[in-house]
Amino acid sequence: MTLVESYQQPGHKAQPAQSDSVLLDVDNLHVHFETSRGMVRAVEGLSFNVKRGEIVAIVGESGSGKSVSALSIMRLLPKMTSRIPQGRITFDGRNLLDLSDEEMREIRGQHISMIFQEPMTSLNPILTIGLQITEPLQIHLGMTPEQARERAIELLGLVGIPDPARRLEQYPHQFSGGMRQRVMIAIGLACNPKLIIADEPTTALDVTIQAQILELMKDLSRRLNIALIVITHNLGVVARYADRVIVMYAARLVEEGIAENVFHKPRHPYSMGLLRSVPRLDRPRGAKLETIEGLPPNLAVPMPGCRFAPRCPFKIAICEQEPGLLQTDLGGLSRCHRHAEIAAGKLAWTGIGGGGEIPVAKETTPLLSVRDLVKHFEVRGGLRGDSGTVRAVQDVSFDIYPGETLGLVGESGCGKTTVGRLILKLEQPTSGEVRFAGTDIATASAGEMKTLRRKIQVIFQDPYSSLNPRMTVGEIIGEPLHVYKLVPGRKEQHARVEELLQQVGLRPEMAARYPHQLSGGQRQRVGIARALAMEPSFIVCDEAVSALDVSIQGQIINLLEDLQRRLGLAYLFIAHDLAVVRHISMRVVVMYFGRVMEVADRDTLYAEPLHPYTKVLLDAAPVPDPTIEKGREPRLIKGELPSHLAPPSGCVFNTRCPLASEECRQAVPLLREIKPGHFAACIKV
């Protein structure tokens, strides 16, 4: 009996006739948290339902209440600090909020399962995969160890793990991130659940792996008739999966509807703004990103009227009153007084205008010139003895001209961050040179370095850990001024800090605050101000916007572009998000496994990629358009990143390349100029 058949057995209640009936019904759910800052209303009056076999996506930015809603369905909220003062969660005819802990455990194990974001930490590192899959089977379905093992092998096969019998004996560290997420899905499927809740299931994964996992989850849900709630901030992921979309903002549901409608004809200003503020691969690149200005409200402070009104361009007098959930012309729901006007096309989101292409004076001498850069890390084996050399960066060369932005894209482990660290001299290169304005950074003396340091600055990914928590914003920004004596006195220093804060769009009073008192976007602005304090000519932006929410990400990208225009800065923009890189960069370098695969002007690269890896990468990136996503062919890319300790011979991409042949395994292809200004390292082009 196969797994698919087992779902059609009488024991399993999913009958085709019932497939349209409601499986989960959340009615007027309220969740409150007691915190030191007072009561936070994390979810307010949330109502939605999920039908059998349906895929529903909950979209929202951090703090919108999307994950809290999922945890309250699973009754996994922290007991000490959370409260559900009102609401009903009916699953298969039973109110989950009334069940005893014992009954709830039964539900969690057998009927609803959950997949978390972080595949690295959701598996127990000291137990074999086999044990972790068979455990629920033995506990909940009363299988014998032999039956459970047989079923586990079947499940691993189902989620696409090759050689399942052998892999059952292995431990989580022997699996890659993508494979672990597959294992998590297998565990989620183990007891034939009727509903799977996936909280950001692919956020921690690389684009090519993400595509594989999305494919798998969608396929399984369809074949096994499992309802799926996907919680995510990535609109592309939503477009790929969802039948229906729920948009949450500041603890409330603001829009609900069929995926196609929400994406193509949004009926709430927030959804409209959100869709417009994402840089997109499927549309021509706009000159400037449109953003939703401002910040989401603080949920600890009660707020009358429409939650989105302070950031909404269509605000009118009636918005002072709380809008209800109103039926839209398309049969969806919108929490906006003016949804009918939006439907009639009377309210258009006006672009902020300005900007335009940043003019780069055609200079002939590069500001930064990287030649044959190599960085090897020696890995000393522990007891397991897997020692060797990790070739993190191999023969990387590129130039950056003054006032230019060079995008550096690649998946995790491709060496892009190491390149950034080598340029900043946070690491010493194994060989090769990094010339900045004529001086080789790798061999520069301490004195030369001191002057160079000021000219090269950095903005990091994580706005939480890139600021010293024990220093105030004013001290953080003022420190370089003081150390390099860029201003004569204390008074001038204060004035300069205020000027810098205003330059990055923060109020001067922020100088007295500590980083933990700021939001993620504000912290990232402080990080930018700190870099600007040095008056640099070149900034390395290492995933500078990837930890931010969509609407904030757009604001920071626009800020970086503004600063470039005003101050003539050059950027090395390191990122994994192809759409963001396309938006901000003028030229793009694609890296894979420590090597440069392709270099080209932005428009050429995205329109006519030459290297098979670039093609695969572009193909794998989901775009926020359900029509395109649902009509897509299955993806090209197979397999996983090879091990750094056993690199493939010849072309590093040959293990995953759709075009690979015997010659590709022979020699490492050189980066050659195929068209003027367009380089690729592939013998097949």
Instruction: Return residues touching another protein (CB under 8 A).
Output: 34, 79-88, 95, 97-98, 421, 424-426, 449-450, 453-454, 456-458, 460-462, 465-471, 479-480, 483, 527, 530, 534
Query: Are the C-beta atoms of 503 and 532 separated by less than 8 Å?
Result: yes
Compute the C-alpha angle 403/404/405, nearest 5°: 130
Phi (first) and psi of residue 369, to 5 degrees:
-135, 115
Task: Select from 154, 30, 25 the least CA-distant residue to 86.
Answer: 30
Query: Measured from the CB atom, is 300 or 449 closer to another protein?
Result: 449
Query: Measured from the CB atom, is 88 or 105 closer to another protein?
Result: 88
The least distance separating another protein from the CB of residue 108, rounded to whole angstroms, comes to 16
The least distance separating another protein from the CB of residue 176, rounded to whole angstroms, comes to 23
- Cross-strand bridge partners of residue 601: 587
The least distance separating another protein from the CB of residue 510, rounded to whole angstroms, comes to 17
Query: Measured from the CB atom, is 24 or 161 closer to another protein?
Result: 24
Q: How far apart are CA 655 and CA 640, in angstroms?
A: 9
Query: Are the C-beta atoms of 669 and 676 separated by less than 8 Å?
Result: no
Q: Terminal CA-to-CA distance of the chain, rounded, Å?
A: 48
The least distance separating another protein from the CB of residue 530, rounded to whole angstroms, comes to 7
**Nearest-10 Cα torsion for 183, 187, 193, 194:** -30
Query: Measured from the CB atom, is 18 or 86 closer to another protein?
Result: 86
- Cross-strand bridge partners of residue 35: 38
The least distance separating another protein from the CB of residue 462, rounded to whole angstroms, comes to 6
Task: Select from 572, 601, 576, 569 the least CA-distant residue to 586.
Answer: 601
Cα distances (angstroms) measured from residue 662 to each of 218, 651, 682: 35, 11, 13
Query: Measured from the CB atom, is 236 or 480 closer to another protein?
Result: 480
Q: Tally Cβ neighbours within 10 Å of residue 433.
A: 16
Residues 6+ apart with CB under 8 A from 131: none
Q: How far apart are CA 486 and CA 469, in angstroms?
A: 24
Q: How far apart are CA 523 and CA 159, in angstroms?
A: 40
The least distance separating another protein from the CB of residue 487, rounded to whole angstroms, comes to 16
Query: Measured from the CB atom, is 285 or 453 closer to another protein?
Result: 453
Query: Measured from the CB atom, is 477 or 617 closer to another protein?
Result: 477
The least distance separating another protein from the CB of residue 32, rounded to whole angstroms, comes to 10
Q: How far apart are CA 294 and CA 61, in angstroms?
A: 13
The DSSP H or E segment spanning 316 is: none
**Unique residue bearing structure tokens 């990136």:** 621
Query: Measured from the CB atom, is 80 or 607 closer to another protein?
Result: 80
Query: Are the C-beta atoms of 602 and 587 separated by less than 8 Å?
Result: yes
The least distance separating another protein from the CB of residue 90, rounded to whole angstroms, comes to 10
Query: Are the C-beta atoms of 175 and 129 separated by less than 8 Å?
Result: yes
Tokens of residue 520, six digits: 């993620």
The least distance separating another protein from the CB of residue 31, rounded to whole angstroms, comes to 10
Query: Measured from the CB atom, is 79 or 166 closer to another protein?
Result: 79
Query: Measured from the CB atom, is 131 or 471 closer to another protein?
Result: 471
Question: If 0-12 CB within 10 Å is exposed, 13-18 middle and 19+ buried, where does residue 47 land?
Answer: middle
Long-range contacts of 448-457, Cβ-Cβ distance < 8 Å, separation of 24 or more: 449/425, 453/534, 454/480, 454/484, 454/534, 454/535, 454/536, 455/534, 455/536, 455/537, 455/538, 456/423, 456/424, 456/536, 456/538, 456/539, 456/540, 457/531, 457/532, 457/534, 457/536, 457/538, 457/539, 457/540
Query: Measured from the CB atom, is 332 or 413 closer to another protein?
Result: 413
Rg of the Cα trace of the chain? 26
Query: Measured from the CB atom, is 23 or 29 closer to another protein?
Result: 29
Compute the C-alpha angle 201/206/207, nearest 5°: 95
Query: Measured from the CB atom, is 29 or 133 closer to another protein?
Result: 29
Q: How far apart are CA 248 and CA 273, in angstroms?
A: 13
Tokens of residue 493, six digits: 């220093």
Residues 6+ apart with CB under 8 A from 135: none
Query: Measured from the CB atom, is 168 or 392 closer to another protein?
Result: 392
* Residue at 288: amino acid letter: K
User: HEC states along 106-160?
Assistant: HHHHHCEEEECCCCCCCCCCCCCHHHHHHHHHHHHHCCCHHHHHHHHHHHHHHCC
The least distance separating another protein from the CB of residue 120, rounded to whole angstroms, comes to 17
Residues 6+ apart with CB under 8 A from 145: 134, 138
Query: Measured from the CB atom, is 572 or 599 closer to another protein?
Result: 572
The least distance separating another protein from the CB of residue 81, rounded to whole angstroms, comes to 7
Query: Measured from the CB atom, is 166 or 470 closer to another protein?
Result: 470
The least distance separating another protein from the CB of residue 467, rounded to whole angstroms, comes to 6
The least distance separating another protein from the CB of residue 99, rounded to whole angstroms, comes to 10
**Unique residue bearing structure tokens 């996936």:** 198
Q: How far apart are CA 680 and CA 685, in angstroms?
A: 8
The least distance separating another protein from the CB of residue 634, rounded to whole angstroms, comes to 38
The least distance separating another protein from the CB of residue 119, rounded to whole angstroms, comes to 22
The least distance separating another protein from the CB of residue 534, rounded to whole angstroms, comes to 7
